[in-house]
Amino acid sequence: MNWLLVGASTIAAEYMIPAMRAQPGGSVAHVVSGTAERAGEFAARHRIPSWGTSLEAALAAPGIDAVYISSTNEKHHPQAMGAIAAGKHVLCEKPLGMSLAEASGMVRAAEARGVVFATNHHLRCAGSHRAIRALVADGRVGKVLSMRVHHAVYLPPHLQGWRLNDPAAGGGVIPDITVHDADTVRFHLGEDPVDVVAQMTQSGLGQGVEDSCMSVWSTPSGVQVFAHDSFTHRHAGCGLEIHGAEGSIFGRGIMTQKPVGEVELVTAEGRERVSYPAYDLYTQGIADFEAAVAGKGRPAADGADGVKSLTIALAVREAARSGARQRIDYGGF
């Protein structure tokens, strides 16, 4: 598959370009950036044969099979709508947009145009998370009672820009990290949270946006979910726990971009280390996307998954802002 990159971004450089090139016949044809200087420099550094500042011109060029959007968050919607209108399959970064209306509009437009539209929620591609999901689905912990997600990390210095100081670009820990928790919780529990209470704060890095948030969600079956998200915790570690009536699952160090961490199942029979395949998460995500384009299966996270994760994240922020419990309305999704 021949890819067009929209956004000369860190995530494209560090993970997505290698993941695209790792596929059989995979190549990156062109990068679009906001400035010619940055586009040219990014293209040279990553051996991309063509670059420019016009998305329209790039979409009109022959030979592009799919578009990957990893610009700052406020640009996802207009860029995705342009790519969809041009008949391209689209893999878009999370959060899909700045509002439920934007995100749902992207998904509806892709449906109408008959193209694959997916959200880059990488965690559900991980061997660790897929192993945990299988344990839950197989009833190994019995009825699930609660889930704890601890995703309080330290934002690396090279990413300490718009995420910390630019609300108009979609900054803040909630659209950045809580949105991933939302997708991960849905992935493991197989149900959509219905309401949320939350508090958020600025704890050292955020300037005008929250850099830390704690929230509690409930699901239709009565599972209580606690999510702790931050950009300011250097040594907290990350992970998730799922506690059921018959057992508990501990996923340590697994809320990451790398295929690392431990999974342990604890039941009346004792403690069991759960093994899982340690492949690259993003390479798997691109493989799933390409299979969906070929008509074989669905993307790891489709457009509706992206709408729902954004809806939950927006409800968390509104709960924290207002101090009031929020019902989560998925707008028909």
Give residues in contact with ligand NDP (CB under 6 A). Answer: 7-11, 33-35, 38, 70-73, 93-94, 120, 122, 159, 161, 176, 257
Cβ proximity to ligand NDP, 68 vs 276, nearer residue:
68
Largest CA distance in the chain: 62
Residue type, 75: K
The distance of closest approach from Cβ of residue 285 to ligand NDP in the complex, given in angstroms and rounded to an integer, is: 8
The answer to whether residues 142 and 244 touch, using CB atoms and an 8 Å cutoff, is yes
d(CA 62, CA 320): 47
Neighbouring C-alpha atoms within 13 Å toward the C-beta of 78: 8
The distance of closest approach from Cβ of residue 281 to ligand NDP in the complex, given in angstroms and rounded to an integer, is: 8
Cβ proximity to ligand NDP, 13 vs 236, nearer residue:
13
**186: helix, strand or coil:** helix
The distance of closest approach from Cβ of residue 100 to ligand NDP in the complex, given in angstroms and rounded to an integer, is: 17
How would you classify residue 329: left for phi > 0, otherwise alpha for psi between -120 and 50, otherwise beta?
Answer: beta
CB-nearest residue to ligand NDP: 34
Cβ proximity to ligand NDP, 202 vs 257, nearer residue:
257
The distance of closest approach from Cβ of residue 149 to ligand NDP in the complex, given in angstroms and rounded to an integer, is: 15
Task: State the Cα torsion 61-62-65-69 to the nearest 10°.
Answer: -10
Cβ proximity to ligand NDP, 216 vs 313, nearer residue:
313
The distance of closest approach from Cβ of residue 38 to ligand NDP in the complex, given in angstroms and rounded to an integer, is: 4
Cβ proximity to ligand NDP, 73 vs 311, nearer residue:
73
Cβ proximity to ligand NDP, 143 vs 258, nearer residue:
258
The distance of closest approach from Cβ of residue 257 to ligand NDP in the complex, given in angstroms and rounded to an integer, is: 6
Alpha-carbon distance values, 122 to 33, 60, 134 (Å): 23, 29, 17
The answer to whether residues 89 and 66 touch, using CB atoms and an 8 Å cutoff, is yes
- The string over 114-131, giving b where at least 16 C-beta atoms fall within 10 Å of a residue's C-beta and e elsewhere, is ebbbbbbbbbbbbbbbbb
